[in-house]
A and B are shown apart, each in its own frame.
Chain A
Amino acid sequence: NAGVTQTPKFQVLKTGQSMTLQCAQDMNHNSMYWYRQDPGMGLRLIYYSASEGTTDKGEVPNGYNVSRLNKREFSLRLESAAPSQTSVYFCASSDRGPSGANVLTFGAGSRLTVL
């Protein structure tokens, strides 16, 4: 009964380093999402994937890339990390495509610090 699993839970990077956040869901959901959470700003959508093989930009995509590896997995990559990308990142999935998505299931979050 894992739901949405994110790795790593914590990561510290230096400016300019790259890294990939991994996300996997075991609920056979079609849609997956990456959000970032910053104090006083709620959650902002970075990228989403309506179905396997498709990805689309959200509200704040700059500096990020994503890959929908298969139906279960959706990774988020920072090619050249910047201090402005210090945040808590959440992966989520939903049981219908965005046109009918109603309830998101979230992972526990990944806290990233860029020095």
Chain B
Amino acid sequence: GNSVTQMEGPVTLSEEAFLTINCTYTATGYPSLFWYVQYPGEGLQLLLKATKADDKGSNKGFEATYRKETTSFHLEKGSVQVSDSAVYFCALKGGEYGNKLVFGAGTILRVKS
């Protein structure tokens, strides 16, 4: 069935460091892929998305490329800020579960000044 696997956290970085959070998926067909972010005390917000292979989603300096050959959708940012500290969720829609979102376990990011 559909599933999403994210790297375990927490990930702790210094300000201006490069960020990668790995995400791989298992799904039939051609799912759409998403990154959601949850800031402390808040609900999840959509960060970026990609709907087909080789698409790159981007927002607020974050990027992720839909790689069908490696079934991956890794999140990257060139220079993180303290304000990026949050929990990041990779998710997919499609395949076995139709159009309901399936989430990964989430990765905590802590950025130190």
> Which positions in A face B, CB cutoff 8 Å?
4, 40-45, 48, 58, 90, 92, 98-109
Q: How far is the CA of A78 from the CA of B78 in the complex (A)?
A: 45
Q: Is B106's CB within 8 Å of the partner chain A?
A: yes
> Which positions in B face A, CB cutoff 8 Å?
4, 32, 41-46, 49, 89, 93, 98-101, 103-106
Number of interchain pairs (Cβ within 8 Å): 49
Select which of A45, A90, A103 is within 8 A of B43 by beta carbon.
Answer: A90
Q: How far is the CA of A36 from the CA of B92 in the complex (A)?
A: 17
Select which of B32, B45, B104, B106 is within 8 A of A106 by beta carbon.
Answer: B45
Measured CB to CB, the closest approach of chain B to A104, in angstroms, equals 7
Known contacts A102-B32, A102-B49; decide if A43 and B103 are in contact (CB<8 Å).
yes
11 A-B pairs in the complex with CB atoms less than 8 angstroms apart: A42-B104, A43-B89, A43-B101, A98-B98, A101-B100, A102-B32, A102-B93, A104-B46, A104-B101, A106-B43, A107-B43
Q: How far is the CA of A91 from the CA of B99 in the complex (A)?
A: 17
In the A-B complex, the 7 residue pairs with the closest CB atoms: A106-B43, A42-B103, A43-B103, A42-B105, A106-B44, A98-B99, A108-B43
Contact between A99 and B101, CB atoms less than 8 A apart:
no
